[in-house]
Amino acid sequence: MVSATEPVPGSTGAGAATDAVAVVCVRSGALPAGTLDAVAAAGGRVVLVGSGTAVAAEMLGGAAVEVSCWEAAGFAPGRWAGPLAELVSGCDQVVLPGSPDGRDLAPRLAAVLDRPLVCGVVEHGPGRLTVSAWGGSVMVDVPVAGPVVWTVHPVAVTAEAHLHGTGPVPVPVTAEPTEAHDAVTVEVLGPDLATMDLAEAPRLVGGGAGLDGPERFELLAAVAARLGAAMGATRVVTDRGWLSHDRQIGTTGVVVDPALYLAFGISGAVQHTAGLGDPDHIISVNTEPHCPMMSMADVAIVADANETVAELARMLGCVDGAERSGAVS
Q: Give the interface with ligand FAD as residue ranges (CB under 6 A).
A: 136-137, 208-210, 234-237, 248-253, 265-267, 269, 271-272, 275, 285-288, 291, 304-306
| Closest listed residue to residue 146, CA positions, set 113, 123, 119 | 113
* Residue with smaller CB distance to ligand FAD, 140 or 183: 140
Question: At closest approach, how far in Å is the CB of 234 from ligand FAD?
Answer: 3
Instruction: Return the residue nearest ligand FAD (CB atom).
Output: 250
What number of other Cβ atoms are within 10 A of residue 249's Cβ? 31
Question: At closest approach, how far in Å is the CB of 272 from ligand FAD?
Answer: 3
| Closest listed residue to residue 80, CA positions, set 7, 175, 184 | 175
* Residue with smaller CB distance to ligand FAD, 246 or 320: 246
Q: Are strands 138-143 and 128-133 parallel, antiparallel or unpaired?
A: antiparallel
* Residue with smaller CB distance to ligand FAD, 48 or 256: 256
* Residue with smaller CB distance to ligand FAD, 142 or 209: 209
* Residue with smaller CB distance to ligand FAD, 213 or 317: 213
* Residue with smaller CB distance to ligand FAD, 53 or 252: 252
| Closest listed residue to residue 11, CA positions, set 125, 120, 90, 87 | 90
Q: For residues 204 and 281, what is the distance between their CA atoms, to the nearest angstrom? A: 11
Question: At closest approach, how far in Å is the CB of 207 from ligand FAD?
Answer: 8
Q: For residues 283 and 272, what is the distance between their CA atoms, to the nearest angstrom? A: 15
**Residue type for position 266:** I
Long-range pairs of 248-253 with CB within 8 A, sequence gap ≥ 24: 249/198, 249/204, 249/206, 249/275, 249/276, 250/274, 250/275, 250/276, 251/136, 251/155, 251/156, 251/275, 252/132, 252/135, 252/136, 252/137
Question: At closest approach, how far in Å is the CB of 212 from ligand FAD?
Answer: 7
Overall size of the chain counted in residues: 329
